[in-house]
Chain A
């Protein structure tokens, strides 16, 4: 009963503002969206929310998890700007967070968080644009503010916020649950993001493709962990999102009605994240999550295994280290150095895997190849000792 009263009160409160009318009837008052320049919070609830988010933003600015590479930040911002337009993108302040899981979020004060796991998973600019656009729509349509008013009507969300155990990432995850959007909001964000892809000339098919890839990764992980039912719940981003299968279908159908475009921006995307890619994949491999990582790598390769991808795959198998993995890792390292003889890390991995199998002479030779390419590497003293012929 209290719940019902609260909902009624909430409905009344919302209808008192411009929000109630925004969906159906023409607004009575000129509506200023948060994406317009100089937007300020309107009432006490919104002001309070901004205050909290400003505080969270201060913490994130000081965080050691922040990727402060100006070039990479400028690139992600440029993708958002192409997607939603120069006039609007100024409202967003993007922060890249070094953490290998897939996630992105945008707070009502304009703070946008992009986890490095998204940069690893997007295979082209259009896929990145899909997620950035989706989060931007939540911001623009004030979905989090609506959800927050809803929560506020039921409980003291601020008290809840201050009781969160765990670190920064847990708190960001909580933002997702405070701002739990309903299905309509999610679909609205999906469809408007697709419109953005269309208006910015990106391949509209990218929207369903990134969700398809993520769905597959979670299924692979769940299968390995024998916990299929938890496949979506395990990821804070997906906990609040529509069933991925439905979403793929409606996005694909809607994309077919858009003007087709072959511009997925794959080449420039690869170039833009190239410097970071080794660190991003390294973070993923070190999660000890074999099944998901194997799926992810196959999805990136799509049959075309480059030297980098082969190296990452070999590292994954070597890290798991079952007897059959050792053989597979050796094969992948060999393919990797055959594809790119300058990839020092692959020579090192090949040397290590040969030594593990007692093939000492060849193994030491491979380690010396690594040292010739990377004489200044941090582990050169140890590898040098391992590469030395006995008795010399």
Chain B
């Protein structure tokens, strides 16, 4: 029976990487919300909640029905040499780093490769990559599908990203390919197109 407590301590160890308990706060419908270090302003429709647990210091995560059903993540002001996510505790390799010189397709590669590592999944395929605006800035839109190991489910995702003053801004939506993605994607596109970026003025303290 020696092995069972080991399994428990492993769970405890994994849990230590996250805050003890993520809290959710409901967001008011149709009101401006400052997001991810106040570098973005979003105006959600009803039903969205934001988590106190963040994927990284420069991001935040929203959901409507729970992360398993819809997940909206905002990254704002990711700087040269930073990763998109906090490093997973058990990871053998470092996560790829953002470079200010990255081209639009390379931002998509950064996103894909980071997620493959976080999810420990090679079942991840980017389908379409096209020019798009994030706020008033030129950027890239990409769509993809993936599967995580512990669920027999395909998820669909769509992200829009831009580099502004050498910093990365990215909004990403993920939901199960069955029903949930299609149900919400037009609302998400609307939210993203009305998003305002508030990059700090060049020279200002970060």
Contact = CB atoms under 8 A, between A and B. Distances in A.
A184 B103 CA distance: 54
Contacts of B117: 286-288
A64 B129 contact: no
A65 B94 CA distance: 24
Interface in B1-31: 1-4, 7-8, 10-11, 14
Interface in B124-141: 126-131, 140
A47 to B, nearest CB: 22
B147 to A, nearest CB: 3
Interface in A135-193: 155-156, 159-160, 163-170
A156 B38 CA distance: 53
Interface in A105-159: 116, 155-156, 159
B130 A381 contact: yes
A289 B105 contact: no
Given A286-B112, A379-B128, A166 B150 contact: yes
B7 A160 contact: yes
Contacts of A116: 122
Contacts of A283: 122
Contact of A352 (B94, B106, B153, B154): B106
A118 to B, nearest CB: 14
Contacts of A386: 103-105
Contact of B149 (A155, A167, A287, A355): A167
B54 interface: no
Nearest to B106: A352
Contact of B122 (A100, A168, A225, A356): A100
A297 B13 CA distance: 35
Contact of A98 (B99, B123, B131): B123
A382 interface: yes
A156 B112 CA distance: 40
A383 interface: yes
A345 B179 CA distance: 34
A328 interface: no
A215 to B, nearest CB: 18
Interface string A74-103: 000000000000000000000000111000
Contacts of B152: 59, 62-64
Contacts of A98: 122-123
B65 interface: no
Contacts of B129: 378-379, 381-383
A378 B126 contact: yes
B149 A225 contact: no
A99 B106 CA distance: 23
Contacts of A159: 1, 4
Contacts of A286: 112-113, 116-117, 122
Contact of A383 (B4, B99, B105): B105
Contacts of A166: 149-150
B96 interface: yes
A19 interface: no
Contacts of B8: 163
A265 B11 CA distance: 45
B93 interface: yes
Contacts of B185: none
B149 A65 contact: yes
B182 interface: no
B140 A382 contact: yes
Contacts of B103: 352, 355-356, 386
A234 B93 CA distance: 12
Nearest to A315: B109
Contact of B150 (A167, A225, A321, A382): A167
A6 to B, nearest CB: 13
Nearest to B2: A155
Nearest to B5: A163
Contacts of A321: 99
Given A286-B113, A379-B129, A385-B131, A165 B147 contact: no
A381 B116 contact: no
Interface of B: 1-4, 7-8, 10-11, 14, 92-96, 99, 101, 103-106, 108-109, 112-113, 116-117, 120-123, 126-131, 140, 147-150, 152-154
Q: What 9 A-B pairs have minimum CB-CB distances, sorted nearest first?
A: A167-B149, A64-B147, A167-B150, A379-B129, A381-B130, A163-B7, A283-B122, A382-B129, A160-B3
Interface of A: 59, 62-65, 98-100, 116, 155-156, 159-160, 163-170, 225, 234, 283, 286-289, 319, 321, 352, 355-356, 378-379, 381-383, 385-386
21 contacts: A62-B152, A64-B154, A65-B123, A65-B147, A65-B149, A98-B122, A98-B123, A116-B122, A155-B2, A159-B4, A167-B150, A168-B150, A288-B93, A288-B94, A321-B99, A379-B128, A381-B130, A382-B104, A382-B105, A383-B129, A386-B103
Given A168-B149, A382-B104, 7 more contacts: A65-B121, A165-B10, A165-B14, A167-B150, A283-B122, A319-B109, A382-B140
